[in-house]
Structure formats: C-alpha cells, structure tokens
A and B are shown apart, each in its own frame.
Chain A
Amino acid sequence: MEKEVNKRTNPKKYKNPYLMGVLLGFVLIAAFYFSGRGLGASGAPKRVMAAVVEVVAPQHAEKSEFYSKYVKSARGPWKDWLNFEVLGVIIGGFISGTLSGRLKVKVEHSPKITSRKRLAFALIGGILFEYGASMARGCTSGAALSGMAVLATGGLVTMFAIFGGAYLFAYFFRKLWI
C-alpha cells in the first residue's frame, strides 16, 4: 500500500524502458511510413547555424562549401523537416516533464564537482558531439537509431563508434559522474 502511494507521488518515477522503447519504435516506423525517413536531432542546429551565418556574413555563407549546401537548398535552411521535428522534441519533452512533475530549473551535477565545471564540460560535450555528428552524417538519432531501423551499415558503424568511443574515454572523465 505504501509502495503504491509512493509510486504515484514520486516525481522521479520514470516509465518502463521497454514500453518506451516500443513506443519510440512505433514513432520511428511512422516517420518512415509518412516521410520516408528516420528521426534526427543534430541536423537542426546545423541548419540554424547556416541560417545565422547567412544573415551575419552572407558572402561567406554562399562561398562556404558547407553552409551553402543548406543555405541554397530549395526551401532554405529554416523550412526543413528536421527543424520542425526538433521543435516537436522540445514540446514532447515538456509535455512529459509537466505530466510527471519534473519541470525544474537546475544544473544537475555530481556533488563531487561544481556546477561551473559541469557547465564547462556540457559546453565542450555539445561542441564535440555536434562536430562528430556533422562528420559522421548523423548523431545517435539520425545515424545510429534511424540507421538500425533500416539496417544501414553506416548507421550501425556509427553506433558502435559512438558507444565504443564513450566506453573508451569514460575512465578519464569518471570524476564528472561517479
């Protein structure tokens, strides 16, 4: 009985991972069924950044072999499938966070490090992750997960490299987490 109450009121209670996995699998199938493609994430900052560079330095953006791919695409860097999907990711996360009472402005970090250190490494991690994703043509969502759905060799190779790399480097950054 006590356990039952705890289950309902504890805001930290997450949903069953296998149930969420099946649900995410259905979302992924729906993405292929409707739009013929998988889910993604890292492609949105890339396009937004290309749009920003175009505003700030239009000649530079057009000359750059990298930005020009997005700036000169048929519908431009803003009107892109991935940008709308990522907007949805933010809304979906917010809905779940609201329903389970997890909305809270905070810096989550191990008590062994300061929040400043956590934020510095979060910035470094964001830079590295996006850099690697641009190189590998997709991140954990666009390359690894969507790649597994269609069994793309490149997606699975990227998946092994991401998780393998993380295990390889984990020891050196253990003090950030444990």
Chain B
Amino acid sequence: MGPLIPQGIIGPEWDFIIALLLGIGFGYTLEAAGFSSSKNLVGLFYGYDFVVLRVFFTAGATAAAGIILFDYFGWIDIGRLYVQPTYWGAAIVGGLIMGLGFVTGGFCPGTSFTAASIGKIDALVFVGGTFVGSFLYGETYPLFKNFVNSGNEGGIKVYDSLGMSRGFFTFLLILIAVGMFYAVPLIEKRVKKPDY
C-alpha cells in the first residue's frame, strides 16, 4: 500500500531515481502541451489561448479523482500524503506577487525550466531571476517572518473548509472544469491571437 517510499516498502535509495523519472514525465507533458512558450502561457490572462486552464484543470481533477480511487481500492494511505499547511495571509500575498511575476515574466518556475531546456533565452533569464528572488527572500525573511508564519491552520482540506465530502467536492471540481472547457472557446473565438 502506498505511499511506497515514506512507508519503507521500497528503499529510500529509489527516492531520487523516482524523483528524476517523475520530473521527466512532468517536463515532457509541459513542453508537449506548449508550456515552453510564454506566448501560450499568458494567453490565459488576455483571453486568446486557454491551454493552461485546459491542462491544469484536467491534471488536477485527474489526480484528485485518482487519489480517491487509489484510496478506495486500498492502494494508498491517503492520510500519509503530504498536504501543505494553510497560512491564509502568506498564501494570498505570496500568490498575488506570483501573479505579478507571471504577467511580467511570462513563465512560472516549472515552465521556465522546460522552456530554457529547448533554448528559450527569455526562460533562462527567468530562471536566473528565480535564484535572485530566492536570495532576496532569504535576506528579507526576518522582516516578514512574523507575517508568513502567522495563522497556521495546518494541513486542512478544502472540502472540510466548505463542509462537503471529499467525493462530492471532487465531483463539483470535475463539473466546474468541464463547464470551463466548454466556455473558454467562446472567448478564444472573440479574441485575436497575437501573431508572432
């Protein structure tokens, strides 16, 4: 029963090999879907290309539903999966800063690595920026330490926060995703795709 490595079912020496293989799968799908071009990525924010929404919500809904199935068949101990803790203030402020980074830089960290790997210089510079950003955060951390560590609610789940069952929320998530998949072509048809 999974997760295999945290429970010692397969040895810890496999952890890095599996991380590398999972990364290859991750990078492959990002590049193949067109995430190695910032023109395709920012289309989401200007309405001319919703490929990010399609891939992101298909992947998220597939994984959320898949994990429920794995749990149902007893293949995974859902309680042992890492759930990031919720810090409302830090999540919102950090997220808004990332949003600003998205529309200025045209990538997010994962997509910048894949784009750099196929030769995009703009992506390579973005990657350079992520190192600078880490350094700046490290140096300014004491200033915001109290803020980023305040209001820890632990690994809470959104269906609990909304008072629903896990299955019902996932069902809603799939419905919302499919609804958006039908709606976004209506916007794409009306907005001209930039020609470059």
**Interface set of A (CB-CB < 8 Å, partner B):** 14-15, 17-18, 20-42, 44-46, 48-50, 52-53, 64-67, 79, 81-82, 84-97, 100, 102-111, 118-119, 121-170, 172-174, 176-178
Contacts and interface: CB of A to CB of B under 8 A. Distances in A.
A103 B125 CA distance: 17
Contacts of B42: 170, 177
Contact of B102 (A46, A86, A162): A162
A67 B17 CA distance: 26
Given A125-B102, A132-B95, A88 B19 contact: yes
Interface residues of B, number: 131
Given A29-B63, A82-B19, A127-B130, 9 more contacts: A37-B81, A110-B39, A129-B130, A130-B109, A130-B134, A149-B63, A153-B86, A176-B104, A178-B46
B187 interface: no
Nearest to A13: B34
A130 B95 contact: no
Q: Is the interface of A mostly helix, strand, loop or mixed?
A: helix
Contact of A139 (B23, B109, B114, B141): B109
Contact of A100 (B32, B113, B117, B181): B32
27 contacts: A17-B58, A24-B25, A34-B10, A34-B18, A84-B16, A85-B20, A88-B27, A97-B31, A97-B119, A107-B120, A121-B106, A125-B126, A126-B105, A127-B132, A127-B133, A130-B101, A130-B130, A132-B94, A135-B93, A137-B87, A150-B82, A151-B158, A152-B86, A158-B91, A162-B98, A168-B99, A177-B42
